[in-house]
Amino acid sequence: MSTKEKKVLEDIFSRLLGAREEEIEAAFGDIIAEIAKRNDLEDPDSLYLAFVYPFGDILDAALKKRGSVLQKYQTLIINHWTFKNIIEKIIVDFEGSACCADKSSWLINGFIEYKKSSKLPDMVIGEEEFWKPRFGRAAEWMEFIESIDKLLHGNWRNFVVALQCIIKAGKDKYSEAK
């Protein structure tokens, strides 16, 4: 990529991010100003209790009012990018970055469907199904996603076991090819 092309992309992203910041300021400027004045928010515990925890309650109430099945998956929703990033990094390590976001989204959506119906996602890869990871069984991936939820609630043991299982599946698949 040339310097000129890089500059054009930087300008585009800068404008997009700037527009989003302006939207946020316009919609929530008064609230942001009040928060900025507070002196009791200098540590993670205070910030969490003042903003993140109540946001979870608000989200929970909104999903409950709507009758959404997603209410059961509040941790996954609030930490969606954490789940996606963990899954994507593992996929990238074994398959490269092509379609890793599609694969992680498909797995997360498959997890929600699995929790609703107890039916595992179909991991058989059709000719043009680029959104499915090429390693790991459906049950292994579902257990791994469940373990991320448990990890975020302090249970690291399930996560380590499930992570080792997914890593082994990736190594087994890709060491065969060599």
Specify the amino acid at residue 59.
Answer: L
Report whether pLDDT(178) > 60: no
C-alpha to C-alpha distance for 117 and 122, rounded to whole angstroms: 13
CA-based nearest residue to 83, from 120, 109, 115, 59: 109
Report residue 163 as tokens.
Answer: 């992570």
Report residue 169 as tokens.
Answer: 């599946």
For the stretch 109-121, pLDDT in tens is 999 999 989 999 9
Report whether pLDDT(140) > 70: yes
For the stretch 67-76, pLDDT in tens is 777 777 888 8
C-alpha to C-alpha distance for 146 and 157, rounded to whole angstroms: 12
CA-based nearest residue to 107, from 134, 138, 81: 138
For the stretch 15-24, pLDDT in tens is 666 667 788 7
Place of tokens 């009758």: 67
HEC per residue, 62-125: HHHHHCCHHHHHHHHHHCHHHHHHHHHHHHHHHHCCCCHHHHHHHHHHHHHHHHHHCCCCCCCC
Place of tokens 């910041």: 21
CA-based nearest residue to 47, from 36, 59, 62: 36
Specify the amino acid at residue 15.
Answer: R
What pTM was computed for the model? 0.75
Place of tokens 């929790």: 115
